[in-house]
Amino acid sequence: MTVPDGGAAAKKAFRGPASACLSLEAVIVPLGLLVMDKVEGGLTPAKIAWVVVLTVGMIVAIARFSKPWGLPLALALQVLMLLGWVVSPSLGILGLIFCLVWALMLWMRHEVLRRQRLFAERSGAGPG
């Protein structure tokens, strides 16, 4: 088995888990409003706006993940989730959890691509 496409199939295969993770985030982040309301003493316009921007951004990222800028957009949303700590500690905790999930997914993607390259080199096919 060679990797003539330079791992393009593995990169495309990453779209499914990444879109699934973004979908899960797009559902969970708005539910954070309930926690913010009950635990943090109420909702503010800043909290609501931050959650709405993140949720819409995640839906857009799901639809555009096949574009070359899809992964950077998804990662930028994770940074915004972490920065949400300034607005709401609950949002920051969600951001930390999902950043760890994304870090694990990116590591797995990197490892699959590395092993494909290694296999291709050992089988004499070369990297492309």
User: Over the stretch 77-121, which tens digit does the pLDDT of each residue have?
Assistant: 999 999 989 999 999 999 999 999 999 999 999 998 899 889 888
Three-state SS across the chain? CCCCCCCHHHHHHCHHHHHHHHHHHHHHHHHHHHHHHHHCCCCCHHHHHHHHHHHHHHHHHHHCCCCCCHHHHHHHHHHHHHHHHHCCHHHHHHHHHHHHHHHHHHHHHHHHHHHHHHHHHHCCCCCC
Domain ranges of the chain: 10-121
The string of pLDDT tens digits covering residues 9-20 is 766 778 888 899
The string of pLDDT tens digits covering residues 39-76 is 988 899 999 999 999 999 999 999 988 888 888 999 99
